[in-house]
Chain A
Amino acid sequence: MTLSDRTQQAIDAAVSSNKDRPGALLPILHGIQDQIGYIPPEAIPQIAGELNLSRAEVHGVVTFYHYFRQSPPGRHTLQICQAESCQAMGSEALTEHARKTLGVGFHQTTGDQAFTLEPIYCLGNCACSPAIMVDDEVYGRVTPERLEQILAEVKEAQR
């Protein structure tokens, strides 16, 4: 399988702008994921070659960190905080509502590719629990009704 030009460009740009920095691997992986949303498997041997690491080392880093994805997410990522403060304010019911509304579980993407549902452990928004994050935006004191509204707004904004 060959990579699309866009993907290859993202890998090249992330590698060339970061490879000479100390501890370059995480910045490179961030650079790629910022551009295309995940770390394609084809990127691993390329990065390994540039940094003089084994493929196993690069793969090990990609899989260690929850944030790095190995497959493309949906157009939007919905993260629902599962940590204690949000539990104290009903995150469990909110999560259940999200599962039902979207028809998917954690780490899954809806059939229309609109949303990927992920758990997250603390957004630092504990004063406004329960909290969720949609792409890069944090929302606080989210009720099931508000969640539906946010999802609709996000979907609408894209059209």
Chain B
Amino acid sequence: MSIQVFVPRDSSAISLGANRVAKAITNEAAKRGVTIELVRNGSRGMFWLETLVEVATPKGRIAYGPVNPEDVAGLFDANFLQAGDHALKLGLTVEIPFLKKQERLTFARVGITDPVSLADYIAHDGYRGLKRALGLSGADIVKEVTDSGLRGRGGAAFPTGIKWNTVLNTPADQKYIVCNADEGDSGTYSDRMIMEGDPFVLIEGMTIAGIAVGATQGYIYLRSEYPHALQALNEAIDVAVANNYLGTDILGSGKTFHLEVRRGAGAYVCGEETSLLESLEGKRGIVRFKPPLPAIEGLFGKPTIINNVISLASVPIILDKGGAFYRDYGMGRSRGTLPIQLAGNLKQCGLVEKAFGVTLRELLYDYGGGSATGRPIRAVQVGGPLGAFLPESQFDTPLDYEAFAALWAVLGHGGIVAFDDTVDMAKMARYAMEFCAIESCGKCTPCRIGSTRGVEVVDKIIAGTDHAANIQLLRDLSDTMLNGSLCALGGMTPYPVLSALNHFPEDFGLQKTEQAA
């Protein structure tokens, strides 16, 4: 039997040269007359070690990294196919501390399997959730999801089971399952990793959702910035259709579910669910008024489940092992696990799936290894461009929806971006307003006009013009945006702006003591 060698096809790994490494390994093996089986797996999520090359051995998979194409000949010389010693050898992959301490439920297979191999998926417990769901009533499937305590992982944290139940109980001739894969938040990439590294788990989750509520058509709305995810999803969908896991009469059950990927076109606001639905209908991505809720009048006016990638990808394990299994992870009202994404100025950026309750400090230092530049971490932004900035004094906060809400912060989609002490927080506040101005859909005035005025006001504060009055104006404007915007884009832009002002007043030309209100 030929030796299995794993080189990720994940786009972050490719961005660091994984394709060239894979080619170098294939060429070197051919040159030396060695037969290998090269598997293009997903990434394990340890991006400072990419390109991470693994070799299957009787004792388990041995990792080498970070590997560059020019290291490949040396690896062969060191007999890495038999786990030979080399400067880049990291030992057993599962023993790497960053990975060992994680609780991977949703990401159980990512980095381990060949993402587009159905046989591999099934051999690693795939499609067990669907098989169980096919024997349950729709109401029982929804109950499992409700019992799991799963809340929407896209950012709003709305209980998934309640959403599903509304769609289940709304009669209609056609219902839809829509996956929000418009992962636009800076500092987030877990959706991408799932779609590139284990697309079947998303397909399975959507199929279960369709069977639960009687929806026969699903759409994955994928951002245009993810060409590799598009490729992996389409490959996996084709395989699922060919093997009767999608289409009419799924696995002989008489149930139907069709699935199609649709590409977005670079509009951040289309991550907002109603704007996304407009876009899927072929229109400008303008936010809709709610009510009606999408669960009642969603895509093409029909009852629609619209969930984030991670929410849907968490459904198969919930159906396989039961709602209680999933609910036993976590703290308070935040149940299960969160795939956390470490980004920005950190030594060890990557994906950490942990039960809720892990603290920011553990993530930044134990997992992240501190800042990449070696300077002190001054601020972190959690939850994307609409998330608050947290100062060092709040790093002991556990990751929990309610604990973050108490600090006037959000977990969002679980992205954590670290900044060292060279960051200028007034500039970050300005950027938050600027980003809102660029991405506003234009429907509501607080967001459309407020963001542009916000940039101007921050500019005046930075220039010192009429300073006290403009600080007050920025607070008033933020208040209007917070309370008057139609959706989270205008409504949450004040989070980064005001948290920067409140926690880092010195960057806005204020004394530290002037930060009241």
Contact = CB atoms under 8 A, between A and B. Distances in A.
Binding partners A and B: yes
Interface of A: 22-27, 29-30, 51, 57, 60-61, 64-68, 83-89, 120-129, 131, 133, 136-141
Given A84-B385, A121-B186, A126-B415, A140 B435 contact: no
A23 B47 contact: no
B263 A120 contact: no
Contacts of A125: 11-12, 15, 189
A124 B186 CA distance: 7
B152 interface: no
Contacts of B283: 25, 57, 61
A27 B263 CA distance: 7
A13 to B, nearest CB: 17
Nearest to B434: A82
A127 B263 contact: no
A128 B47 contact: yes
Nearest to B189: A124
Nearest to A29: B265
B431 A67 contact: no
Contacts of B224: 30, 67
Contact of A141 (B16, B183, B441): B16
A126 B187 contact: yes
B386 to A, nearest CB: 11
Contacts of A129: 343-344, 349
Contacts of A137: 14-15
Tell me which of A24, A51, A123 has the highest count of chain B C-beta atoms within 10 A of its own C-beta: A123
Contact of B282 (A23, A123, A140): A23
B36 to A, nearest CB: 25
B92 interface: no
A131 B15 contact: yes
Contact of A124 (B225, B344, B350): B225
B300 A83 contact: no
Given A126-B349, A127-B12, A85 B186 contact: yes
A64 B284 CA distance: 6
B428 A60 contact: no
Contacts of B341: 126-127
A89 B183 contact: no
Contact of B262 (A27, A57, A60, A64): A27
Contacts of B264: 26, 65, 67
Given A126-B349, A127-B47, A128-B16, A26 B263 contact: yes
A68 B224 CA distance: 10
Contacts of A126: 186-189, 341, 343-344, 349, 415, 417
A125 B300 CA distance: 33
A129 B16 CA distance: 11
Interface string B262-295: 1111111000000000011111110000000000
A121 B345 contact: no
B418 interface: yes
B188 A64 contact: no
A64 B47 contact: no
B139 interface: no
9 contacts: A23-B281, A126-B189, A126-B344, A127-B47, A128-B47, A128-B349, A129-B349, A131-B15, A137-B14
B419 interface: yes
A70 B381 CA distance: 35
Nearest to B221: A26
